[in-house]
Structure 1
Amino acid sequence: MKKHAPPRNLCGQVIHELGGRILAGEIPPGQAIPQEWTLCEQLGVSRTVVREAIKGLAAKGLVESRAKRGTLVRPSNQWNYLDPEVIQWQSGSDSSGSNLLRLTEFRQTIEPKAAAMAAKRASEEQLQHISDAWDQMEEAAGNDVEKFLAADILFHVEILHATGNPFFSPVAHAISASLESSLRVTNCLPSDNLSSLPLHKKVLKAIIAGQATQAHNAMLSMLNDAAKRIEKAIARTDTSANNS
């Protein structure tokens, strides 16, 4: 499935390049990133662009400037793992699939509770948004993988917003990136999407009915199913690699 990333400006391109190197382990924690002039030559950009990019990486918790030592990669436990770009970079270097499973574990702790809260708190407008997202999933399932992916992400994000808790908003961005990474592994073909429709339908029906416990359990069941499909996809990949 081809991924269509939005175009980046020069600063965004440098952030993406350096962030990818850091998450791939090419520049490990404690090591300095290349000096400004080196990056200017390597990437064909000005020092102003490089400096702005370093500020962007610092905002994600990846680097910090030290006097006489340059710009160092920070310890990994200080990285902003909820940043969508950090999730993307880590997924790109996740050859074992372990990070994708960790992301699913994170979702299993957050989304069932969010579904229960949405069942109690969602407004009529928010319920309509969730229902509309499911309708888009149903329409795209079996024929358009990209549209299904977008609708699936929207479904989950609308549930998080329907909690009425603003602290779920930044988590929604992270879960969007996590879900995209997951679906690109488990739902590569249009036919893969058909089996997930009933699971989403159960979540939708419970939320609309205001049944918090059922919504919680339906969401957890869906995420457990996703975890199993990720494990199977990883196993198939490992088998193919061993046989090649």
Structure 2
Amino acid sequence: MARIENLNLSQQVTNELGKAIINGHYTAETGLPTEAKLCEEYGISRTAVREAVKMLAAKGLISSRPRQGIRVEPANTWNLYDTSVLKWLLESSPTLYVLKEFLQVRLAIEPQAAALAAKRADKDAIAEIAVALEKMQAAADAPDGEIHEADLAFHTAILFASGNRFFFQLRDFIRTALNVSIQHTTPAKGSKKAIADEHFKVYQAILNGEAERAKNMMTYMIDEAMSFIEKEIAEKESQNASK
């Protein structure tokens, strides 16, 4: 293990240990190395190690109790809404299964957010959706246009336009997972123009105050992404079964 030399030592150790826990390198059975061992391995002070332990505990990955030491917690205690935890999880091997769960969450949230945005009809908020859509359309029309960031901005703008503070609080969670999801679904869709057109239908329904149509259009878009992910999962499972 290379020694860490950046100023933000604790965050780097948190990142390394978090990934190791999620990848199964450290488990409830194996536990974490001792403070002394971690200090030696990373070339940092006990203070930096202890700060990293606090950060991991806050994310639900470990617990630290008097006379019990540091314990690695099971996956069902991890805070998946923490964007670092979600990012580490999406970088681990079962990415497609995580994305499927994420799409299920999106189906529960984003269609309703689109419907609320249509009902609320906040002109300024809808204008932000339009800005993101225009960037998507421009990217779709350009041979080497990058639609990715504009796509993320579009979905974030709808969460804000819903007027629901709880939905908007999920923006970083949605962006983090959507960032990975798009990398799978965009190539499967095969056409940036088709992607922009689908997003336009959602925007148009919101702009026209058609709450039910906005909800249905968003549901359709996420359902389609689910189909791509499920197909990819089936193909991988078939390949594994034939080995």
Pair in the same fold by TM > 0.5: yes
Q: Which residue of 2 aligns with 1:98?
A: 97
Q: Which residue of 2 aligns with 1:3?
A: none
Indicate how the Cα distance of structure 1 residues 76 and 57 shifts in structure 2: closer, same or farther if over 3 A, else same. Answer: same
Say if 2:89 and 2:95, in contact at 8 Å, map to a contact too: no
Query: For 2:85 and 2:167, how far apart are their aligned partners in 1?
Result: 18
Query: For 2:29 and 2:121, how far apart are their aligned partners in 1?
Result: 46
Q: Which residue of 2 aligns with 1:80?
A: 79
Deviation for aligned residue 1:205: 0.4
Query: For 1:232 and 1:8, how far apart are their aligned partners in 2?
Result: 44
Mapped pair 1:18 → 2:20? no
| Residue deviations 1:148-205 (CA, integer Å, cap 9, x gap) | 2111111101111111121123311111111111112222599543332221111100
Indicate how the Cα distance of structure 1 residues 30 and 158 shifts in structure 2: closer, same or farther if over 3 A, else same. Answer: farther
| Residue deviations 1:102-128 (CA, integer Å, cap 9, x gap) | 111111111111110111114211111
CA RMSD of aligned residues (A): 2.5
Say if 1:15 and 1:53, in contact at 8 Å, map to a contact too: yes
Q: Which residue of 2 aligns with 1:107?
A: 106
Q: Which residue of 2 aligns with 1:137?
A: 136
**TM-score normalised to the size of structure 2?**
0.87
Query: Which amino acid in structure 2 is aligned with residue 94 of structure 1?
Result: S
> Highest CA radius of gyration, 1 or 2?
2
Query: Which amino acid in structure 1 is aligned with residue 71 of structure 2?
Result: L
Query: Which amino acid in structure 1 is aligned with residue 83 of structure 2?
Result: P
Q: How does 1:46-61 map to 2 (within 5 A)?
A: 46-61=45-60
Query: Which amino acid in structure 2 is aligned with residue 59 of structure 1?
Result: A
Q: Which residue of 2 aligns with 1:118?
A: 117
Query: For 1:157 and 1:237, how far apart are their aligned partners in 2?
Result: 31
Query: For 1:123 and 1:209, how far apart are their aligned partners in 2?
Result: 12
Deviation for aligned residue 1:28: 2.2
Deviation for aligned residue 1:138: 1.4
Deviation for aligned residue 1:68: 2.2
Unaligned 5+ segments in structure 2 are 1-5
Query: For 2:189 and 2:144, how far apart are their aligned partners in 1?
Result: 6
**TM-score normalised to the size of structure 1?**
0.87
Query: For 1:235 and 1:179, how far apart are their aligned partners in 2?
Result: 21
Query: Which amino acid in structure 1 is aligned with residue 111 of structure 2?
Result: P
Query: Which amino acid in structure 1 is aligned with residue 84 of structure 2?
Result: E
| Residue deviations 1:52-73 (CA, integer Å, cap 9, x gap) | 1111112212211022222112
Percent identity over the alignment is 39
Say if 1:143 and 1:190, in contact at 8 Å, map to a contact too: no
| Residue deviations 1:20-72 (CA, integer Å, cap 9, x gap) | 11111222246532222211222232222221111111221221102222211
